[in-house]
Structure 1
Amino acid sequence: MTKILFPTDFSNVATNAFLHALGLAKLVHGELILLHTYELPIMDNQFGIQNYKEVYDSIELSNLDMFKEEIPKLRKIAEENGFESIKMSHILTDGDLLHSIKETVKKEKIDYVVMGTSGASGWFEKLFGTNTGEAITSLKVPVFSIPEGAKYSKIDTIGFTTRFREKDKVALQNVIKIAKAAKAVVKCLYVETNESDNSATVYQEWETLFKHEPVQFFIIPSEYARETIEDFITSQEIDVLTMISYKRTFFQWLFTSSFTEEMAFESTIPVLAMHE
């Protein structure tokens, strides 16, 4: 069964992302593993061993109590939204969040990670000024990032940015599986700049290869990739944007704080980051 890791701090941002995680689990016939981490404080040498233990025990107990209190709330949310059949398990651990995510991904053989994003002024900062951004750049599994303004709804259209590389085909095939489960269409975008090295032959090859799939291709000549993607999201009513290249410099180039103001915080959409 497909395994989806959902790190949560039980905040409103995380709770909003929880519905998206449930929706993905339903589409891929998967199960959710909820992960909550907390960090123990660093104390100076003035504390004796007994004092250390008392402090640590207190923090662990407090987090365990909160965990026990919050999990039933999430289960209730799942039931109220028709996801009661989704299998869920839970992990509570101390330590750095990203380290805990990496260890859990490895130990549990996770297929997807779903995380909420928030807290910065520009689209790039929303994505990369958070633990979600660090997860996208460091994990080897797809990361589904959910902006806090992105309310869960049925997926009808999935955007897929491509450079028409051979390795992109595998990612597109995986996206098609999700699209078919959602009865959605995949709209592939290639921004053709003056430096583009693809040809009409390559475009035709891809269209032929995927002609029996729910896929449409858009080749848009432009020197403004950032703005072209933004316009594409709006004009094609994209519900989820899938991107393949996760090198931080690539995303910095696309999404900086100068990203147009029209891309308002509450209108941003989920991004599925897939590794090449």
Structure 2
Amino acid sequence: MRHHILLPTDFSDNAWSAALYALNLYASEPCTFYFSHAWTFLNSGARTHIPQSSIEPVQNKLKEKLAAFKDRAEQESKDRDHTFETIFSEGSVLDCMEVAVKKHNIRLVVMGTKGATGAQEFLYGSNTVTVMNRMRRCPVLLIPSNFEYETPNNMVFPTKFNRFYGEELKFIKEIADLHGSKIEIVHINKKDKLEDKQLENVDMLKTYFKDYNINFNWLTKTRKKEQAITRFIKENNSNILTMINYEHSFVEKLIKEPVIKKMGYHSIIPFLVIPRVD
């Protein structure tokens, strides 16, 4: 199977780090990577007052940068079954990405985050937060700033066991298959025992992942969830955090609180957000 992967870029070092991660993650897989750039006026009302003759040089310069990113990636993937395309679009980042995902049958979006601010925080850019929370067509893999690739042999999957799992679990399998990753399923205890529905979902996970290296972890709720997950990531040398993004989900609450930045700073690992498949 050939993988189709979208790599949005603003031509920053962060964007290149994310691209490198994607190339290495799928080093042994046949892939087509799409470098995309969404361009728009900062002031949407200004477009009517600027002639096309002034716009074209700006757009052509950005297209040259996009081509240079593509050339650089081709050099990195010389001996791999990787091909590269470029997509230059006009509009918002999310709108342009959704069009590309649908048109090119994209299976995964890989994008960089903003860098650390101060000594204690890791901030996702506004575009990243928007894409993470609103992209419903495919998973999004967020790569921390200047992250150096390491084989993702230990995945962390926090879950409450409250919902029936559907097709979204397939992507956890796909990532695990790439490098034989262990899957650490993490549950933070609120009560002394699970309810019947939760127990049924635990059994479902055991059955679904029966051919995989999985481990169930029961964490006592002695602190906030994000702190418990961060501690688990650090203690177990985990290298990918994955969550399912339900409507009004834990992910959405993390963005609002905002605790994703705390987890991102302390763990410094890629974060895979999988949209709920209804």
TM-score (norm 1): 0.82
Match of 1:192 among 185, 189, 194: 189
Q: Quote the residue 1:13 is aligned against.
A: 14
Q: State the alpha-carbon separation in 2 of the partners of residues 41 and 264 from structure 1.
A: 30
Counterpart in the other structure of 1:183: 180
Percent identical among aligned pairs is 22
- In the TM superposition, what is the alpha-carbon distance from 1:197 to its structure 2 partner? 5.2
Tell whether the 8 Å contact from 2:122 to 2:261 is kept in structure 1 after alignment. no
- Spell out, residue by residue over 1:64-107, the C-alpha distance to the aligned partner (whole angstroms, 9 max, x if none): 3333333312322333xx6x421221112222222211111122
Cα deviation code 1:94-145 (max 9, x no counterpart) = 2222221111112222111110001464998623x33111111111110000
The amino acid across from 2:102 in the alignment is K
Given that 1:28 and 1:178 are in contact with CA atoms closer than 8 Å, whether structure 2 keeps it comes out as no
Query: Helix, strand or coil: the match of 1:274?
Result: strand
Q: Which amino acid in structure 2 is aligned with residue 268 of structure 1?
A: I
1:269 corresponds in structure 2 to 269
Equivalent in the alignment of 2:67: 68
Where does residue 226 of structure 2 map in the other structure? 226
SS in 1 for 2:275: coil
Could you tell me which runs of 5 or more consecutive residues in structure 1 were left unpaired when the two chains were aligned.
none
Contact 2:242 2:272 in 1 (8 A): yes
Which of 93, 96, 101 aligns to 1:105? It is 101
Residue identity in the other structure for 2:159 = T
In the alignment, is residue 207 of structure 1 matched against residue 206 of structure 2?
A: yes
Asked if structure 2 preserves the Cα contact closer than 8 Å seen for 1:180 and 1:214, the reply is: no
Between the aligned partners of 1:125 and 1:90, the Cα distance in structure 2 is 29
- Do the aligned partners of residues 161 and 68 (structure 1) sit closer, same or farther apart at CA in structure 2, a change above 3 Å counting? same
Question: Gapped runs of 5+ residues in structure 2?
Answer: none
Under a length normalisation based on structure 2, what TM-score does the superposition of the two structures give? 0.81
Q: Distance in 2 between matches of 1:45 and 1:138?
A: 27
1:34-76 deviation digits (Å, cap 9, x = unpaired): 11222246575995xxx61221122122223333333312322
Which residue, 49, 64, 84 being the options, matches 1:88?
84
**1:239 aligns to what?**
239
Paired residue for 2:253, among 243, 250, 253?
250
Task: Give the distance between the partners of 2:34 and 2:193, measured in 1 at CA.
Answer: 41
Residues 192 and 120 of structure 1, relative CA distance in 2, 3 Å threshold:
same
Compare 140-149 and 222-231 and name the one that shifted more.
222-231
- For 1:22, the equivalent position in structure 2 comes to 23
Partner of 2:114: 118
Deviation of 1:209 after TM superposition, in Å, equals 4.8
Q: C-alpha separation between the residues in 1 aligned to 2:63 and 2:174?
A: 38
1:27–1:158 Cα change, 3 Å: farther
CA RMSD of aligned residues (A): 3.1
* 1-structure distance, mates of 2:48, 2:169: 57
Pick closer, same or farther for the CA change 1:64–1:253 going to 2, 3 Å. Answer: closer
Paired residues of 1:6 and 1:114 also in contact (CA < 8 A): yes
8 Å CA contact 1:162, 1:168 repeated in 2:
no
**C-alpha separation between the residues in 2 aligned to 1:274 and 1:124?**
24
> Quick one: distance in 2 between partners of 1:229 and 1:21?
24
Distance 1:197 1:255, change over 3 A: farther
